Structure 1
Amino acid sequence: MTLTAEVKKLTESKPFYAVAGVGDYAVEKLRELPEQLHKLQSRRADIAKDLPEKARVYAGKAEGFAKEFPEKARGYADQLTHRATEVYEDFASRGRKAVSKVSGEAALELEEVSVAAKPPVATPAKKTTRTTKAKA
């Protein structure tokens, strides 16, 4: 199989688009990270002040959750399977959009480069006759 056929086969697969979608999502979230970090740093004092009380509350909830866990685990597993399928489809759709956008931009750039790289077409020059005058 030729390289072109392999590339075409790859780019027509859903996993390819899902990976592209994950990458696009990761870039989006990484761009948001500095702003979120700044917000958390500004709330650092409030978070530290409330931490001991929240830790006690969550510890109590954890005990209750641990008792119910075996029963709920089956339900969570079913929900997780369904949600994972949805997320996979969303990433594949997002990846298709990202790849198509990048492919379109690349195609436009390639077209511009090819137009700029075309050698000029020679046009036939008009024939002129020159006469030279000798100075006497």
Structure 2
Amino acid sequence: MTLASNLRENKAVYTFIGGGDLAAEKVRELPEQMTKARETATKYQGELRETVDKYRGHVREQVRETVGKYRGEAREAATKLQDRVEVKDLPGAAVAYVTHFGTRTVEFIDELAERGKKVVHREAEEVAELTEAKPAPKARAAQQKKTAQSQTKAAATKKTDA
């Protein structure tokens, strides 16, 4: 097998190309998103400063009261949770999380590989169209030579007919 055919059949190459295409797409979207974020920040900047100054003292009091209230409740909840979780269940939970993460990773890699295949085939089609549109220089020269020869034959035929 040639290097080109090995690369065409390699999922890692397609995944790499798909990842690059996805990254390029996201980079192309950045200027528009930055412009929107800048406009939004400018729009609400004054209002936000006024609101922060207005409620600064009130919020501190509310936070202190709420933290004090829920500190005790959080301790009780943690104690109850400790009682419910058994160490023997942890390996099974870990396996479930790792399996789920692995499945999602494989799905993402497959999506990138499919995207890479589409990019490669799209580029191959564009290259084929370009090569068909422009004949090779040798082919052009041969075509011009044939045209000149046919014109010479036509002129010779006219002379013999006359």
Q: TM-score range by the shorter chain?
A: 0.5 to 0.7
Q: Which has the larger radius of gyration?
A: 2
What are the ranges of 5 or more consecutive residues in structure 2 without an aligned counterpart?
A: 53-58, 64-77
TM-score, normalised to structure 1's length? 0.65
1:111 pairs with 2:132: yes
For 1:50-89, what aligned pairs fall within 5 Å after superposition?
74-89=95-110
What are the ranges of 5 or more consecutive residues in structure 1 without an aligned counterpart?
A: 57-63, 130-136
CA change 1:73–1:83 in 2 (3 A) is same
Identity of counterpart residues, as a percentage?
Answer: 29
For 1:32-47, what aligned pairs fall within 5 Å after superposition?
32-44=29-41, 45=45
CA change 1:101–1:47 in 2 (3 A) is farther
Q: How far off its partner does 1:103 sit?
A: 0.5
TM-score, normalised to structure 2's length? 0.56
Please give the secondary structure, in 2, of the residue aligned with 1:114. Answer: coil
Name the one with the larger helix percent: 2
Please give the secondary structure, in 2, of the residue aligned with 1:107. Answer: helix
1:30 pairs with 2:51: no
**Equivalent residue, structure 2, for 1:123:** 150
Aligned residues: 113
Aligned-pair Cα RMSD in Å? 3.6
State the AA in 2 paired with 1:118.
Answer: R
Q: How far off its partner does 1:36 sit?
A: 1.1
CA change 1:101–1:78 in 2 (3 A) is same
Please give the secondary structure, in 1, of the residue aligned with 2:17. Answer: helix
Report the Cα distance in structure 2 between the residues aligned to 1:77 and 1:86, rounded to whole angstroms: 14
